[in-house]
Structure 1
Amino acid sequence: MSLYYEDEYVQLHLGDALRTPEWLSADVLVSDVPYGIDYNSGSRRDTLAASIAGDKDTTARDGVIAQWRETHGADAPALIFGTWRIQRPEDTRALLVWDTKGALGMGDLSIPWKPAHQEVYVLGRGFHGRRSSDVLACAPVQSMSANGRVHPHQKPVALMEALIEKCPLGVIADPFAGSGSTLIAARNLGRKAIGVELEEKYCELIVRRLSQQAFDFSTLEGGVA
C-alpha cells in the first residue's frame, strides 16, 4: 500500500508518481514538477538537499501530464511550474509569472541582471475568479532563517493558495508533493488534496507541517488571470 497519511482534507502517498495512480482521481493538477533544469545548489547547508530526483530531463513532467490528460481529457485543468530554459508543456494556454521580489539566486554573473521570477503554465480549462494580473508577487521561503526552507524547491503557501483559488472546484492533485505547500494551501482553502512524494523523508516533513497547522502569512501582491 502506498498510503502514507490521511486526514479530513489530505491524502498522501509514498511512491513514484508515474506508478502511483491514486492522484489521478483528483479534479485539478497543481504541481511544481521536476522539469529538467538539473538544479544543484552550491550552498553549504547541512539540512537542505542540493537537488531533487528526476530533474535531469522532462520525463517525469511529461509523464504525469500525459497520464493526467489520458485520464481526464485534453482540456483537463493543470497548473505546472517550469522555466524558460526548458521547452514548455504542449498546449500551454497561458504563462503566469511568479515574481520572487528579487530573491532567486545569483544567476549568470556575466550579465547585469539576476533572476527574480519563475514560470507557471496554465493547461486545460475551467479556471475562474476575479480577472487580475498574470504576475504574482510573493517572497520565497527563505533558505537560512530559523523557520526557513526545508526543501530545495519549496514554494510559499500563500503563492499556492493564490493559484488554487482560481482553479476549478474539486480535489487538488500534487504528484510531486515535496515539502507539502500545495497540500497545505488546498487544506487552508477547505479543498481536499491528494499528494504523492517519492522520498519518505519529505513525507515525514509534510505530515509534520500538516500536524502543526502550518499557515503562511507571506504578503502576496497581484493575482492570476
Structure 2
Amino acid sequence: MSLYYQDEQATLYHGDCLTEHREWLEADVLVTDPPYGMGFKQGKRNSRVEGWTSRHTGVEIAGDADTAARDTAHTAWGDRPALMFGTWKRPAPAGVREVLVWDKVVSTGMGALDIPWRPSWEAIYVIGHGWTGKRGHGVLQHSLPTISDERKWHPTPKPLSLMERLIEKCPPGTIADPFAGSGSTLLAARNLGRKAIGVELEEKYCEIIAKRLSQGAFDLGGVA
C-alpha cells in the first residue's frame, strides 16, 4: 500500500484512506463519491448495441454495507468545504447546507418495478463555506449512457464533465478524493489547473486512474 502515481498536479495513493493514507486530509476541498451504504452489487446489464454487456456483473463496492466509511472520512475532514455524492435512501452526512441533484438524463437502474418511474438522479451534498462562481441552478444535467466508456472501467462512475462543473465552483486550493474510484475527480481537477490528491482501496482502479492521468493534461475520452 503506497504512492501509486504522481505528477506535478495529481497524487494517487493505493490503500485505505481511513487507516493507511491520511495525506488527503491536508487538502483544502473534499470532492468525493464515497460508499453509499446500499450494499451495491452490479447486476447483468445488456444494451441495444450488439455484443455489449457490463463487465462488472457481480462486482461489489468495498465498504458499502453501511455509511460507516463515509461518516468516518467526513468526521476526519470536519466542517471544511466538501461535496459528497449520496442517495436519499440513506441518511445524509452531518452539516449539509444544500443538496444538488445530478440529473443523469437517462435512467440507469430498474428501481421499484411497481412504480411507473425509473431512478435517474443522485444527490450531491454541499458542506462548508467558501464556494465561488456565478450562482446557478442546483440540478446538473450530465448524461452517462449505459454504453459509455466510463462504464467499461468502474461500476459507479461519475462523468468527467460533471466533476469539472462542480470543481469550477470549489474554493481555492487542493482537491481531495479519498474514494477515488475511476479517477474522474482527480482528472477534472487537473484539467482545471487544480492540484489533487486521491486514495483508492482497490488496485485495479488505481491502474485505471494512473492510465487516465498519464495520458496528458486533458482527458479526451479514450479511457474514462
**What displacement does 1:148 show?**
4.3
**Matched residues in 1 for 2:220 and 2:98: separation?**
29
- For residues 132 and 216 of structure 1, what CA distance do their matches in structure 2 show? 27
Q: Deviations over 1:121-167 (max 9, x none)?
A: 00111111100000000002x34356743101110000000000000
What is the CA RMSD across the aligned residues, in angstroms?
Answer: 1.7
Map 1:1-225; keep pairs closer than 5 Å.
2-19=2-19, 20-43=21-44, 45=53, 47-48=55-56, 50-69=59-78, 74=79, 76-140=80-144, 142-145=145-148, 148-213=151-216, 214-215=219-220
Match of 2:50 in 1: none
Q: 1:166 to 1:43 in 2, by over 3 A?
A: same
Q: How many residues are aligned here?
A: 211
Paired letter, 2:102? W
1:33–1:156 distance in 2 versus 1, CA, 3 Å: same
* Unmatched segments (≥5 aa) in structure 1: 218-225
Contact residue 26 and residue 171 of structure 1 kept, 8 A? yes
3-state SS of the aligned residue for 1:155? coil
Q: CA deviation at 1:185?
A: 0.2
Tell me the amino acid that sits aligned with residue 106 of structure 2.
G
Q: In the aligned structure 1, how far is the partner of 2:130 from the partner of 2:106?
A: 32
Q: Where do 5+ consecutive residues of structure 2 fail to align? A: 46-52
Output one character per residue of 1:168-193: Cα deviation in whole Å (capped at 9) or x when no partner: 00000000000000000000000000
